[in-house]
Every structure is written in C-alpha cells, then in structure tokens.
Amino acid sequence: MSHSTSNSNHDMDRLDRSTSTTPKDYNDGMGVQIQTFDTDQTPVNDLFTNTSHRGLKMRHLQLIAISGAIGSSVFLSIASPLRGGPAALLIGVSLWSTVIWGISNCLVEMCTLLPVEGGFVYYATRFLDPSMGFSLGWNYFICQVSLICGEFTSMNVLIAYWAPDLNPAIVISVGLALLVFVQVFNVRVYGETEFWISIGKIFMIFGAFIFTFIVMVGGNPKHDRYGFRFWKDPGAFAGDTGSDAAQNIWHAVQWAAYGIVGPDYISLVAGEVKNPRRVLPKAFNSTIYRILGFYVGGAFFAGLNAPANDPHLLGSSGAAKSPYIINMNRLGIPYLPSILTAGILISLFSSTSSMAFAASRTLYCMGLEGHAPRFVTRTNKYGLPYICVLVTLGLGCLSFMALGSGSSTVLNWFINLTAATQMITWIAVAASYLRFRAGMKAQGLTNSFLPAKGYFQPWSAWWALFWSPFALMFSGYYFFAPGTFAIPDFLFTYMAVFIFIVLCIGWKIRNVIKFKEGWFGISASEMDFKTGLPELEEMTLQAEEEWKNEPQTKLDKIVNNIF
C-alpha cells in the first residue's frame, strides 16, 4: 500500500476507509443533487460535523469573490504592464484569465462534493499526498500574509497622494485595528462588511469604465475626442521589435498572475457557507463574468486612459500613476482624482480583509489536519477560529518593513513573492483535480457522482497545469541578463519555490519514518471518496428544508435572483 493510516494523529487518520459506503444519487427537484448512503456512520472531525459556523449566504459568497478580485491591481498596479502598450496588456491579461477559469472549473467539482474548511489545501492532502497538503497549506498561508503586507504597503503609497509626510505606521496601525474588528468576532460581520463594500466596488469599477467612455468621445473640459489615440500614438505595443512585444505581453501575464484571484477564495469560504450544494455552483460558474468584467475589461479601459510612454506612468508613485487619475489630471477634471483615490483605499482594505479571512481559514484547516499546532483550532461561540485570525493579523505587522525601506521597493518584493506562491497554488489545484478524476475512474465512479461539473474537463485542468509551472519558471527570466542580477529580487521571486520543496520533502520523510507511509502518494484505487459524505449529505438535506421553508420578502427574492 502506498498510504497508511496507522496512527490517530496521522494526516489522513480521520479518513476512515473501513466503512462500506454505497452512494445512491437523486435530485431534489430543485437543481440540487443529494446522495444517500448505506453505511454505519462513524464520527469524523469538525470539518464535516460542525455546521454552527456556516453563516454565509449566496449574496455574501458572490460579493466576497468580487471583493477579493477588486483591490489595488485593476486601478493602481496595472500601470506597470501598461508601459508595454495597451494591446500587450490586454493580450496578457486575457491569456492568464483562461488559466484562472480553468482553475475554477477544477474547484467547482471538488468543492461541491466536499465543501469543507481549507478547500483546495484539504483536497491536496486527500487526493495527492499529505506532504503536498502540508506544504501547500503553508505556501498559501505565506501567500495571503504577503498579500496583506503588500496591500498595507499600497495603502501607504495611496495616502501619500494627500499626505506625503504622514508616517506609514499610522496607516498600518489603523488598518490592522479595523481588520481585528471585522475578522475576530463573527463571520457574519465579515460577510456583511464585504457585501456592502463590494457593492461599492462594483459601482466604482463600472463607474470608471463609464467615465472612460464619456471622456474619450469628448465629454471632458477640453472637449478632446481622443478615442483610441493611445493605441496609435505611441502605439499598441511599446518597443520596436517583435521580441519587445513578446516581452511586454509576458510582463502583462506576470502581472495577471499576481492580480487575478477569486476561485481560491470561494474554495476556502465553502466550509462556512449555508447550503453549499446550492450556492457554490453558481458562485464558481460566475467566475467567467468576474474575469471578463473586472480584469479583461479593466485591462481594456486602462489602455484607453493613458499612453504607454506617459511620464507619470513611468516615473510617479502611488495614486498619481493610476491610468484613470493620469487621464483625469490631463483633462483638467477636478475632484474626481481624490474621490477615486478614496475608493481605491476602501477597496484595498476590503481585499486585505478577504486575504486575512483566507489566511486564517487556511491555518485553521492545517490545525485540524495536524499540519499546524493544535491550539490554532480554538474557536469562539460562533465557530470562528479567532486564534488563527490573531496569528494572521500579527504577521500582518510585517508591513512595518515599509518604515525601513522605500514603500515601492517593499511592495515589489511582496508582489514577487506572492506571484510565486500563487503559481504553486494553481499547480497544486490542477494536479489535485487530475488525481481526483483518476481516482473516480479507478473506482468506477461516473460524472453522476458529482453534484456539479466543470466546463471542458479534463482539458481545463491540463491547460492550467501547463501554464502555471511555465509562468513560475520564467517569472524571473530578466534576472539572468548581464548586470541585472539582484539577490533580494531573486529571493523574493523564487524563495516560495524553495520553501515549498523543503516543506514537502521534510513532511514526507517524517511520515515515511513515523507512519511507514509510502513514497509515492495516494494511489487512485485507494483514494477516499466516502469519508464525510454522509454528514455533508445530511447537512444538505437540512439546509434544503430550511431554504424551502424560510419566508422570503420581495427584497430577498430580488437579491437571490441577482446573486
């Protein structure tokens, strides 16, 4: 056997394989697939049995996914790839968007079958190898903490638009205090906060698109009908050669690898959603619209607002380098730059809150699986893992690094570190899914076993598995040109890879020695497709009954139809 569960504290101990389970599928008539099982149920841990903390509804989940998507990237850091030209930006973002959609198609199948805390981190443990789950969990935790620090550093840069002499420590301290209030008490506080802020974000980004259209056709103080002028002068691609265009497209891909998120947040939130079998498929299937609306649309409209050679785009910092603010200032439009800067600042806080949520739930899942100290699994009366939240926010204090170094330098370090950890996450998700499907095939399970299906599978998974390692491998290609190598930049670009490998090998050796585990992961024939499913099906039946009997106002019906 390639996998052993000989110790009660072992990673997969709780995945009890001794019970004979035969799934019997039926549909409730309302679009939700439910399965019954002939089984002698044995208790399993809180991943499956604790439903007291499931306080998020469909509207919360959809807006949380949006909230994580709209941070500083679509308004601020997008200035960096725009230097390569508007066409290069649009092509690069569109290409990477297909990868993220492929990831979403992988997660929708696994998450609706097993909507538990930890999401894709748990699936790596269950369908790949416990050592992969261990290293992936810590990798993603590092990723989200780095994002938090990066967003706080961006806040410093934004505040400098109004108060260049303000001490960054004040901004970071206020941000951390607000996160404690939103995160540490009740998940519904977080859900409601993100819901309303995210509605504001939607209005802001589509307001920016409408603004762009109005001013480009002449609706501005200068009556300048500039249209697609910047696509012609200085041109759609910066540089003079095809090689320059290719490098600029690749730069846009690298930016998208850092900036485009969403399916991972839905996966992690799945364990705190009411009626996940009804809610999660809608949330994942709407990923394509979020990608097209916020990222591809954002890349297109950003390229209409500023030329690739604009001096502010090339040399300014903070809000002054946003393509939208550059255009507002160029056209002599008052007040709007400050309003947009304030909106971006609120967006930054909201996306930082989503990152803190993702990091804390990842740490909580690792605690339940024995991949982190057990004390992090403590929860309050609302089922919220407050220790994990406090640890996450404590590490967010690394943002104070911006006090000792330039904010832009620190921000670039965090961006590089985050991009690498994101690539590792996407590789693991695609690999977990392919093993998941291999296990289903080996055990005679058909598509009818799945409550929801992804599009173009398994080709979506293979597409993501091709591009993610490719992007990771060549993320720092420019370091190796003569005279460009810098140790800090190299470390922050590739350090996550080395950390992941060391953690994976170390945990594997520990399991082989301590639990006599095999070296080559979980075989398809031994993969566990039953543990926890009876409990999750019972929860689904109960949630469906509550959903049918819950009185709904006209406003509730409108909100449910929208989200």
pLDDT at 484: 66
Residues 6+ apart with CB under 8 A from 313: 79, 82, 83, 306, 307, 321, 323, 326
Distance set, CA 396 to CA 41, 172, 316, 360, 409 (Å): 42, 9, 26, 12, 17
If residue 520 lies in a helix (H) or strand (E), which one and from where to where? none
Nearest to 533 by CA among 35, 121, 124: 35
pLDDT in tens, 291-316: 888 889 989 999 999 898 888 887 66
More confident residue, 133 or 185: 133
**pLDDT beyond 60 at 324:** yes
Mean pLDDT to the nearest integer, 323-351? 86
Mean pLDDT to the nearest integer, 379-388? 80
pLDDT classification of 557: cutoffs 50, 70, 90: low
pLDDT at 58: 64
| Beta carbons of 76 and 321 less than 8 angstroms apart | yes
Q: Please tell me the least confidently modeled range out of 81-85, 219-223, 244-248, 415-419.
A: 415-419
Mean pLDDT to the nearest integer, 436-461? 89
pLDDT in tens, 54-113: 556 666 666 666 665 566 678 887 888 899 999 999 999 999 999 999 999 999 999 888
Angle, CA 404 vertex, CA 401 and CA 410 arms, to 5°: 50
Residue 123 and residue 47: Cα distance in Å, rounded? Answer: 12
**pLDDT beyond 60 at 535:** yes
| Beta carbons of 18 and 503 less than 8 angstroms apart | no
pLDDT at 522: 81
Mean pLDDT to the nearest integer, 539-545? 74
pLDDT at 364: 86
**pLDDT beyond 70 at 283:** yes
**pLDDT beyond 70 at 20:** no
pLDDT at 534: 80
CATH numbers and ranges of domains, the chain: 80-528 (1.20.1740.10), 532-562 (no CATH)
Residue 329 and residue 336: Cα distance in Å, rounded? Answer: 9
Q: Please tell me the least confidently modeled range out of 223-227, 244-248, 554-558.
A: 554-558
pLDDT at 337: 87
More confident residue, 14 or 425: 425
Q: Please tell me the least confidently modeled range out of 21-25, 178-182, 386-390, 442-446.
A: 21-25
pLDDT at 64: 66
3-state secondary structure string across 16-36: CCCCCCCEEEEECCCCCEEEE
If residue 428 lies in a helix (H) or strand (E), which one and from where to where? helix 407-442
**pLDDT beyond 70 at 143:** yes
pLDDT cut 90: percent of the chain above it = 13
pLDDT in tens, 351-378: 788 888 888 888 888 888 888 888 888 8
More confident residue, 449 or 30: 449
| Beta carbons of 28 and 544 less than 8 angstroms apart | yes
Q: Give the number of residues written for the chain.
A: 563
Which of 29-43, 175-189, 408-422, 538-552 has the highest average model confidence (pLDDT)? Answer: 175-189
pLDDT at 68: 58
Q: Which residues of 458-491 are buried (b: 16+ CB within 10 A; e: fewer)?
A: bebbebbbebbeebbeebbeeeeeeeeeeeebee
pLDDT classification of 427: cutoffs 50, 70, 90: very high
| Beta carbons of 249 and 239 less than 8 angstroms apart | no
Residue 350 and residue 193: Cα distance in Å, rounded? Answer: 8
pLDDT at 4: 35
pLDDT at 118: 76
Residues 6+ apart with CB under 8 A from 82: 89, 302, 303, 306, 308, 313, 323
pLDDT cut 70: percent of the chain above it = 77
pLDDT at 9: 42
pTM to 2 decimals?
0.81
pLDDT classification of 43: cutoffs 50, 70, 90: very low
- Alpha helix ranges (H) inside 187-322: 187-216, 229-230, 242-259, 263-269, 276-285, 287-290, 297-305, 311-315
The encoded tokens of residue 318 equal 């903070």
**pLDDT beyond 90 at 463:** yes
Mean pLDDT to the nearest integer, 120-143? 86
**pLDDT beyond 70 at 480:** no
More confident residue, 307 or 476: 307
pLDDT classification of 12: cutoffs 50, 70, 90: very low
